[in-house]
Amino acid sequence: MNHTEMTAVAIADAVASGKLSAVEVAKAHFERVRALEPKIKAFVTLLEEDAMKRAAAVDAKRARGEKLGRLAGVPVALKDNILLEGVETTCSSKILKGYRAAYDATVVERMKAEDAVFIGKTNLDEFAMGSSTENSAFFKTANPWDTDRVPGGSSGGSAAAVAARMAPLALGSDTGGSIRQPASFCGVVGLKPTYGLVSRFGLIAFASSLDQIGPFARTTEDAALLLSVIGGHDARDTTSSLKTPGEALAGLKGQIKGLRIGLPKEYFIKGTDAEVEGAVLAAVETLKKLGAVVKDVSLPHSSYAVGSYYIVAPSEASSNLARFDGIRYGLSSPESKSLEEVYEATRGAGFGPEVKRRIMLGTYALSSGYYDAYYGKAQRVRTLIARDFDDVFREVDVLATPTAPTAAFKFGEKVDDPLAMYLSDVFTIPSNMAGNASISIPCGLTRLGLPIGLQLIGPAFSEGTLLRAAGALENASPFPKLNG
């Protein structure tokens, strides 16, 4: 039995029943990590010793006759902007090199309570700012389908780890598409939950009104399992919803006959690769054959989403990243003679070019005389985008779109053209601006053998409906699997 090909649900069931040991499962995944990691470079930090201890503790718990948790012995990878107590957390930035988390993120606490085994922290674009994982201060992560290409970003390490079967589950964060776009590029399931469904406590903030933690998996069932564990109210996050994961996942089972699917014309535009559009429309046709009802709809303010996002997100980043000052933690400049010199030297050496670019954009947008003209206006546009979604969800249950305009691109292809890189998230950003639920699922391959992602968008707390539709497609047209 190849343990690395098993789903998270199958692993948890086998470990809980005693058919497999958690130690066996962990060993198999670390063997695969050792074989593939030199080429993929998905992990910033590997936790083999800690993982083996945790796996042994799960087996000992079963031996004592105690009931195991829902993630019993399941290996999980964590994006390196999510805190794991005692473990270095860098956000793939030099400015946090050497910082060890003093506490667990809420999502980590909840996975620990369900007997998950953490195998490592994954690479990302520095402070989650990017769409290719080329902005990491340490190294680039490669796409397992073609190692000359990017895995997407910013959660590229998490997506690559799941795609390469180094972990059946991983967590990422999604501010403008950072779960869904790499899921599309790497041929896995990536779910951005409704804003507030999953606690952000212990997530190092990029843009607080947009950030959301969510799962990567190879099946919709596994994604639903992880969401059911990490979701739910947390008093430590003031934006946390009172909704439970069970409420969000209602409607997960059953058929999709009569499900109303909208095709927004603003998401099928010039510049989208013809193979991508063809695969997405073919997937929609499959859903139609399963009983879904498809109609054309419009989200007229979507075209303003990217522009308004790149005011709102950098403005919030400018505020959030002010805490990295060389005084409290992380990198510092011992030669500096004044507080101003400490700030300048630390941030100059510690932040990379993309982070500096966004901090400057945000600081300018928030500065005296420009706040109303830029940040205030962008927030008003955001309201219009949210209203468009509210209006269209009176007509349909979900929207179907491409996740990204193209399949994975080659290293260096867009890194020197920030605008081209920003447009990689043109189809994912509106969902973050509105705070609703969305998922990317693989729906085919290009002629070059690269995965294509279908995005399904639903209203707030419609995760169950999205996963039901995605699962129906998964069963009718099994997702292509990565060989090797």
- Active site residues per annotation: 79, 154, 178
Closest CA to 273 of 145, 418, 450, 441: 450
Phi, psi of 442, deg, nearest 5: -70, 140
What residues are paired with 456 via a beta bridge?
A: 400, 439
Q: Where are the alpha helices (DSSP H) in 231-352?
A: 245-248, 274-289, 305-320, 339-350
Which residues, other chains included, contact 166 with Cβ-Cβ below 8 Å and sequence gap of 6+?
4, 29, 32, 33, 36, 37, 40, 42, 77, 119
| Side chain identity, residue 2 | N
- With tokens 């691109």, the residue in question is 409
Residue 259 zone, left/alpha/beta (φ > 0; ψ -120 to 50; rest): beta
Q: How many CB atoms lie within 10 A of CB 421?
A: 22
Element (H, E) at 122: strand 117-122
Give the chain's radius of gyration (CA, Å).
Answer: 21
Please report where in the chains the tokens 């998230």 appear, as a residue.
425
Q: Looking at 193-304, which runs of residues are DSSP E strands?
A: 213-217, 260-264, 293-297
Cβ distance 79 to 151 under 8 Å? no
Report the first-to-last Cα separation within the chain, whole angstroms.
15
161/187 Cα distance (integer angstroms): 11
Measure the CA–CA gap between 81 and 78, rounded to whole angstroms: 8
CB 12 within 8 A of CB 72: yes
**CA 135 to CA 148: how far, in whole Å?**
16
Both tokens assigned to 116:
């998950």
Which CA distances in Å does 295 have to 298, 309, 315, 459?
10, 28, 37, 17
Cβ atoms of 294 and 431 closer than 8 Å = no
Amino acid of residue 260: R
